[in-house]
């Protein structure tokens, strides 16, 4: 009957709420796919999809034993998923917290004086070829790593940073964490990245800087002990071979929300400029400013 055919083909009108609902779900799915792309999570999600397919397939095919096993296994799958994906879940929530919307409510994490102290310290450490890693807290707190180190809560000065990273200092191993323009702690141990695409030339300091910035929105300054090169890590990417002016410009753009990539015009910090080895400028690094 014609009227029955028309009723089947007729669809309910789509309201603006339906459109918003579809857009939000699409964006969430897209962001999740971006987060798991190229990681071990992608293979684990694929395995979970196979289990779900087996569950519904066993129901339709009346495979009672298979369905019973999967049904009982799914009860523990949620807990197992949280344990296995804890780092990825943490990274996803941190990525959500770095959305541009929330940056309007953020204050400037570091002032000009703090940046100058960091540039001076990194340049002098570079000239002496003393390895160092300095993590700067931004919106997402680093309390877990601060509590694992030696608390200092001292004013940020380049003299203090130089003293901490001297090979004879008991605090030179590990990272220094800067919180609200103060040296919160030293000798802090940071998570190493598990990114398989990184070159083997990158040392533990560079991997720790990348690993930390993969999990949160912090910025990490690394001074290579082998070459004296200065690097900056942010959002899981690292830019190597920076001079004093380039480091200053990069820190300003990352910490003061200026977004400017122009080199700074203020006087250069004393100390010779040394470049990282070309092998450390890996594929996927930050664009040079």
In a domain, 99, yes or no: no
Same domain, 60 and 156: no
Provide the CB-side half-sphere exposure for 26 (13 A, CA).
Answer: 6
Same domain, 35 and 144: no
Q: Is 199 exposed, middle or buried (0-12, 13-18, 19+ CB in 10 A)?
A: exposed
Same domain, 6 and 52: yes
Task: Indicate the helix (H) or strand (E) that contains 91.
Answer: helix 86-97
What was the pLDDT predicted at 97? 59
pLDDT band at residue 280 using 50, 70 and 90 as cut-offs: very low
Stretch among 108-112, 186-190, 209-213 having the lowest mean pLDDT: 108-112
In a domain, 92, yes or no: no
Task: Indicate the helix (H) or strand (E) that contains 117.
Answer: helix 112-127
Same domain, 183 and 273: yes
Stretch among 53-67, 158-172, 217-231 having the lowest mean pLDDT: 53-67
pLDDT surpassing 70 at residue 29 = yes
Q: What is the pTM of this model?
A: 0.58
Same domain, 260 and 120: yes
In a domain, 97, yes or no: no
Same domain, 218 and 265: yes
| Digit-coded pLDDT (tens) for 54-92 | 888 888 888 888 888 887 877 777 677 777 666 666 666
| Digit-coded pLDDT (tens) for 250-265 | 999 988 854 433 333 3
In a domain, 287, yes or no: no
In a domain, 107, yes or no: no
Average pLDDT, the chain: 76
Q: Which residues in 71-110 are b (16+ Cβ under 10 Å) and which e? A: eeeeeeeeeeeeeebeebeebbebbeebeeeeeeeeeebb
3-class SS at 30?
Answer: helix
Six-digit token pair at 280? Answer: 């450390």
Same domain, 79 and 119: no
For residue 23, give its domain range. Answer: 2-84
Same domain, 239 and 160: yes
Same domain, 32 and 80: yes
What was the pLDDT predicted at 79? 77
Same domain, 29 and 152: no
Average pLDDT of the residues in 170-199: 88
């Amino acid at each position: 009957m014609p009227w029955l055919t028309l009723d089947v083909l007729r669809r309910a009108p789509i309201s603006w709420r339906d459109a918003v609902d579809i857009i939000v779900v699409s964006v969430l799915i897209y962001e999740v796919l971006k987060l798991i792309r190229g990681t071990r999570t992608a293979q684990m999600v694929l395995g979970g999809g196979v289990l779900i397919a087996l569950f519904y397939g066993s129901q339709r095919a009346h495979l009672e034993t298979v369905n019973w096993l999967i049904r009982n296994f799914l009860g523990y799958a949620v807990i197992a998923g949280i344990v296995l994906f804890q780092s990825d879940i943490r990274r996803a929530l941190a990525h959500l917290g770095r959305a541009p919307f929330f940056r309007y409510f953020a204050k400037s994490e570091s002032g000009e004086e703090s940046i100058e102290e960091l540039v001076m310290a990194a340049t002098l450490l570079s000239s002496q070829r003393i390895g160092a890693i300095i993590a700067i807290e931004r919106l997402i707190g680093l309390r877990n790593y601060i509590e694992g180190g030696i608390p200092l809560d001292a004013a940020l000065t380049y003299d203090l940073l130089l003293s901490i990273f001297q090979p004879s200092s008991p605090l030179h191993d590990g990272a220094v964490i800067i919180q609200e323009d103060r040296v919160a702690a030293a000798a802090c141990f940071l998570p190493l990245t598990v990114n398989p695409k990184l070159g083997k030339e990158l040392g533990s300091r560079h991997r720790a800087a990348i690993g930390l910035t993969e999990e949160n929105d912090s910025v990490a300054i690394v001074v290579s002990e082998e070459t004296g090169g200065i690097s900056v890590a942010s959002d899981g990417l690292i830019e190597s071979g920076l001079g004093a002016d380039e480091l200053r410009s990069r820190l300003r753009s990352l910490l003061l929300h200026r977004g400017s990539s122009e080199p700074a015009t203020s006087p250069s910090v004393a100390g010779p400029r040394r470049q990282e080895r070309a092998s450390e400028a890996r594929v996927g690094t930050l664009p040079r400013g």
